Structure 1
Amino acid sequence: MATKTATTNGGKLNELKAPPTIAHHEDTAPRKQAPVPLTVEGIAAQRAKAGKLVAGTAAYSDSDMFKSPHAYNQPKARRWDHLLSPEAVARKPCVLKKAATLLKKPGLLSLGGGLPSSDNFPIESLSMQVPHPPVFDHASIEIPDSDIVIGKHDIRDKDGVFDLATALNYGQAVGSAQMLRWVTEHTELVSRPPYADWQCALTIGSTGALDSALRMFCDRGRKDSILTEEYSFSTALETITPMGINIVGVRVDEQGLLPKNLDEILSNWDESARGARKPTVLYTVPSGQNPTGATMGAKRRKEVYDVCSKHDIFILEDEPYYYLQMPPYDKENSAAQPGAVDTSLNQSTEDFLQSLIPTLLSIDVDGRVLRMDSFSKVVVPGSRIGWVTGSEQIIERYIRHTECSSQGPAGFSQALMYKLLDETWGHEGYLRWLINLRGEYTRRRDALLDACEKHLPKDVVSWTPPAAGMFHWISVDHTRHPHAGQKTILEIEEEIFDSCIERGVLACRGSWFRAERDVEPTGLFFRTTYAAASQADMDVAIQRFGEAVRASFGIENNGIETGSPAKRRRIV
């Protein structure tokens, strides 16, 4: 049986038995030096030592097979039995998935699992063209050998590591070993979780991962509650509400969640008055938060984590925009100006990783964070593939849920993403892609902010330039509206929204994202995005938005407010 070596805190060598369905052939010579943190260059050496990855149909795998020895130089995570829902506790392993591990036995003739024969798959191969580092432009698609092909029997016929016969059949809910290896290595590069028994599992994207996580930690019958930003991802709210879970909004500022308000809510929780148990779960988007665009700094993340530790709160860290962290906006030197040069393209991947704000996972000494990563915002949304990282106990429970629901991401997605990320780009190429993408979103953000500076009435409209992500949160001062006190915030919001539609621009109403829908909002906001529109279209759209605000507030385009003399003022 193949083995893998890990070093514990005590310095002793432990053998981790790799299930026989996946073969590693590695050097068994004694270790001569203490393990060092994993690097991009170190991954190649680690793989060379492990030997070729052999993982057939429905092969069992877990992150312990792919972590570096350095990952084990930590204590183990806490147990979370006291926070798991009755549903999560009741989940049992899928017997058919478990039976698939028996296929390792040589000469075994299977009449058990319903695994279709790959001979009957009507797809012989898939091919695609992708850009190549470092520039990722159209010319890079024209280089020799730019066609990427994966065939039905590449493992058998071409000594390959992955093929369609394996990818397109049933697999384990944790995902294919081939993609699990890649996300495990990537997670260790970026977050280096500070406990030994962390694991990864592939997902069908963060929304699906959130649905499973909510079922693991919350239960309608217990009158459970969940904490989140006072303005939160609308789809997340729409996922939570029908489950009968009480949603509690935490106030935010330009850096997201306010730790003091989070602590106040938990310290003063009155179960009778609230009609729900004290929350045990926080759902948050720390980077480029949807919809506010807020990004927690390193200090803020530590403060939020400390409050959660104090009150024993489990954290769902949803980070689809984490790698879209951008430099501060400088309107005098906007990246959207003609001829602007992105000097960060010359940044090394090591420096890029060092520049990223630490993840909540990277400061999680307890194993109280379930981090949700996704390729949706940084590769393609239609892949419907991502991954979660958490303690061994939590990932094992997560797998039990997905075995009986999604069964993991589609084989097509896993096959194509493997060919792109592992065989074509590798970790170095993927990080270079993220550096390139950061520059693209910086230009887009700056174009939208340039338009805001030019077209919006700043006496009644304000904003904080986003430091990550793809959303821009615009605040409108409702107290200066001619009918303030006569019209509610929601009525003014609706008036501006309808006026925007009439003028041909869609800006999302802030109220759509309120965590506590039954509470009157205290502010008036609109969410805009720079994700896809051209620079010219963004300029026109913001101009139309500005016109809608002016019309509602009675402000003429020349900067003079119409209406009663008492309300008249100059717009600077």
Structure 2
Amino acid sequence: MSPTNVGGIGLVAEEVHIGKQAPEPLTLEGIRARRAKAGKLDAPTASYSDSDMFKAPQFPDLLSPESAARKPCVLKQAAKHLKKPGLVSLGGGLPSAENFPIERLSMQVPSPAGGFSHTDNLKEVTIGKHDVRDHQGEGVLDLSIALNYGQSIGSAQLLRWVTEHTELVHDPPYADWRCALTIGSTGSLEAAYRMFGDRQRGDGILTEEYSFSTALETAAPLGLRVFGVAMDEQGLLPDKMDELLSAGGARRPRVLYTVPSGQNPTGATQSEQRRRGVYAVCQKHDVFIFEDEPYYFLQMQPYQKGASGSTTGTTTTKPNGGESTTNGDADVEAFLRTLVPSLLSLDTDGRVMRHDSFSKVVVPGARVGWVTASEQVIERYIRHAECCSQGPSGFSQAVLYKLLDEEWGHAGYLRWLAHVRDEYAARRDAILGACEKYLPGRWFLGRRRRRGCLYLWLKVDHTRHPHAASKSLLALEEEIFDSCIDKGVLSCRGSWFAAEYDRPLSGLFFRTTYAAASEAQMAVAIERFGDAVRGSFGI
């Protein structure tokens, strides 16, 4: 019997072009219906007004009854009066900072000028309880502010930074976009599901046929049905999306959840043309988009077989671990040009809610990210956060603000992102090199063109298994998985990521990651994985 093939999907499908369908224009009858619904206009002398009061809300039919019913938090609204000079507050229950038992925090951080070495050129930075009061003009955030109650949108100081970053990187093509800080992408995704999904309406979510397992597990208890779309090496296939949404029958999905860059678990990265195709299908069928992008800045150059090091952008990672980094705005701009445009940057309708996170590129334990969407969508998100999370941790916001704004700045952060990308590119090269050694030729057909993320998606050709006719894919998957554990390697079963649990699997897959293991550990792990597969096949 010949050995099995182990490798990536490896398909390059033709791009699908689906023409944009413009939103329905406002008609005379539509104006009459809108006014009838709004009721009599109550506007006495010198009443305040603006056009937003009379425009139709964006995607009103997509918002859930829960989201539509949320009202502003009256205590949060009262805080706007605190800026009045001389005001003595007996309103909000804000504890006195004098009773905070923390006077100062300090940390050591690497410098962009030193190539982000974690052993050399470290700088100690501190944030005190009353820095703003005691050192006027030298700072805008201290512990007395950061550790007290705040607004659900996040601190103004860090919100300013993420807003500037979003405009710098994505430049959304409409005027009324907004950002709001979050407690990480999982928390913001759960809120978004509840904003746009309702079990009583039978709402559904569209996503990749293999999708982030936590996103699936978040949708399930909310009663949202998940529909999986076929993929190739670039991710979602627009023509398959169009077919599914055009089929009719059961209530079609109202929202697309997608990870366009370095998709978890497959590692697929959508090209600009593919993203435009996906967006056009969503326009055609009036589908809202959740763009989850924790790996956006980890877009790498394609893997080169036998490469001893990886040159992936502004930083060159060398085999000995040293770096040569050239500073300057030109390098930062060159790094940004290597990135595929985001769906947010292509969003002319305001139908994208982008979820960003510091988890994969700074520290996951901070539990801080942010969402970007139209003003109306962000307003609904804030109403949800006011009664659920009240925003991210003050400690995390203070530390991130001090690092990103006061120490690194935007250019320094982008250089850090290029540095992190190159670190992971070296790890990717190491695990693919191990695959070439221990799963050679006929065994491994890996994704040589892999452009990023933290995962390697391995496909086992189950049709060559001696028990293919008598054992299900799930049984074969379990057998190989258990054998891997026995041999001392953990990989993730592909079925854990299947979007539709009640449908047969499309293949036998395993997800591995090169996020943390050393080069030597990855080589041992891949060798053990290969042994487990060979053992199952009786080779």
Mark yes or no: TM-score above 0.5.
yes
Deviation at 1:354, TM superposition (A): 1.2
Give 2:125's match in structure 1, choosing from 148, 153, 167. Answer: 148
Paired residue secondary structure (2:291): strand
8 Å contact from structure 1 (residues 345, 439) kept in 2: no
Q: What is aligned with 1:49?
A: none
Q: Tell whether 2:195 aligns with 1:221.
A: no
Deviation at 1:140, TM superposition (A): 3.8
Give 2:354's match in structure 1, choosing from 371, 376, 385. Answer: 371
Give 1:527's match in structure 2, choosing from 504, 511, 523. Answer: 511
Q: How far apart, in 2, do the equivalents of 1:199 and 1:140 lie?
A: 39
Q: How far apart, in 2, do the equivalents of 1:129 and 1:426 lie?
A: 16
Tell me the TM-score normalized by structure 1. 0.80
Give 1:137's match in structure 2, choosing from 117, 125, 131. Answer: 117
Q: Which moved more, 1:456-465 or 1:253-262?
A: 456-465
8 Å contact from structure 1 (residues 150, 164) kept in 2: yes
Deviation at 1:110, TM superposition (A): 1.5
Q: What is aligned with 1:287?
A: 261
Q: Tell whether 2:172 aligns with 1:188.
A: no
Aligned letter for 1:486? Answer: S
Paired residue secondary structure (2:93): coil
Q: Which moved more, 1:346-355 or 1:537-546?
A: 346-355
Deviation at 1:180, TM superposition (A): 0.4
Deviation at 1:321, TM superposition (A): 0.2
Structure 2 spans left out of the alignment, 5+ residues: 1-54, 311-317
User: Alpha-carbon deviations, 1:197-248, whole Å to 9, x = none?
Assistant: 0000000000000000000000011011000011000111110001100000
Paired residue secondary structure (2:482): helix
Paired residue secondary structure (1:475): strand
Q: How far apart, in 1, do the equivalents of 2:351 and 2:430 lie?
A: 39
Q: What is aligned with 2:73?
A: 94
In structure 2, the CA distance between the partners of 1:77 and 1:341, relative to structure 1 (3 Å rule), is: farther
Paired residue secondary structure (1:249): strand
8 Å contact from structure 1 (residues 496, 552) kept in 2: yes
Tell me the TM-score normalized by structure 2. 0.85
Deviation at 1:152, TM superposition (A): 0.3
Aligned letter for 2:231? Answer: V
8 Å contact from structure 2 (residues 307, 429) kept in 1: no
Q: What is aligned with 1:37?
A: none
Q: Which moved more, 1:106-115 or 1:386-395?
A: 106-115
Q: Tell whether 2:294 aligns with 1:315.
A: no
8 Å contact from structure 1 (residues 251, 257) kept in 2: yes
Deviation at 1:82, TM superposition (A): 1.7
Deviation at 1:461, TM superposition (A): 4.3
The sequence identity of aligned pairs, in percent, is 66
Q: Tell whether 2:466 aligns with 1:489.
A: no
Deviation at 1:343, TM superposition (A): 7.0
Give 2:104's match in structure 1, choosing from 119, 122, 125. Answer: 125
Q: How far apart, in 1, do the equivalents of 2:361 and 2:218 lie?
A: 23
Aligned letter for 2:467? Answer: H
Query: Which structure 2 residues correspond to residues 391-430 of structure 1 after superposition, within 5 A?
Result: 391-430=374-413
In structure 2, the CA distance between the partners of 1:344 and 1:82, relative to structure 1 (3 Å rule), is: farther
Q: How far apart, in 2, do the equivalents of 1:209 and 1:251 lie?
A: 26
8 Å contact from structure 1 (residues 345, 436) kept in 2: no
Deviation at 1:306, TM superposition (A): 0.4
Q: How far apart, in 1, do the equivalents of 2:537 and 2:61 lie?
A: 53
Q: How far apart, in 1, do the equivalents of 2:57 and 2:169 lie?
A: 22
Q: How far apart, in 2, do the equivalents of 1:215 and 1:548 lie?
A: 42
8 Å contact from structure 1 (residues 191, 359) kept in 2: yes
Paired residue secondary structure (1:293): coil
Q: How far apart, in 1, do the equivalents of 2:228 and 2:191 lie?
A: 21
Q: What is aligned with 1:563?
A: none
Q: How far apart, in 1, do the equivalents of 2:106 and 2:319 lie?
A: 37
Q: What is aligned with 1:72?
A: none
Query: Which structure 2 residues correspond to residues 470-481 of structure 1 after superposition, within 5 A?
Result: 470-481=454-465
User: Alpha-carbon deviations, 1:378-437, whole Å to 9, x = none?
Assistant: 000000000000000000000000000011100000000000000000001101101111
Query: Which structure 2 residues correspond to residues 424-503 of structure 1 after superposition, within 5 A?
Result: 424-456=407-439, 458-465=441-448, 466-503=450-487
8 Å contact from structure 2 (residues 132, 141) kept in 1: yes
Q: How far apart, in 2, do the equivalents of 1:86 and 1:372 lie?
A: 23
Q: How far apart, in 1, do the equivalents of 2:526 and 2:420 lie?
A: 24
Q: How far apart, in 2, do the equivalents of 1:387 and 1:90 lie?
A: 23
Give 2:309's match in structure 1, choosing from 331, 335, 338. Answer: 335
| Larger RCO (CA within 8 A; separation ≥ 6) | 2
Q: What is aligned with 1:362?
A: 345
Structure 1 spans left out of the alignment, 5+ residues: 1-75, 272-276, 556-572
User: Alpha-carbon deviations, 1:528-571, whole Å to 9, x = none?
Assistant: 0000000000000000000001101122xxxxxxxxxxxxxxxx
User: Alpha-carbon deviations, 1:2-22, whole Å to 9, x = none?
Assistant: xxxxxxxxxxxxxxxxxxxxx
Deviation at 1:339, TM superposition (A): 4.9
Aligned letter for 1:328? Answer: P
Q: What is aligned with 1:274?
A: none
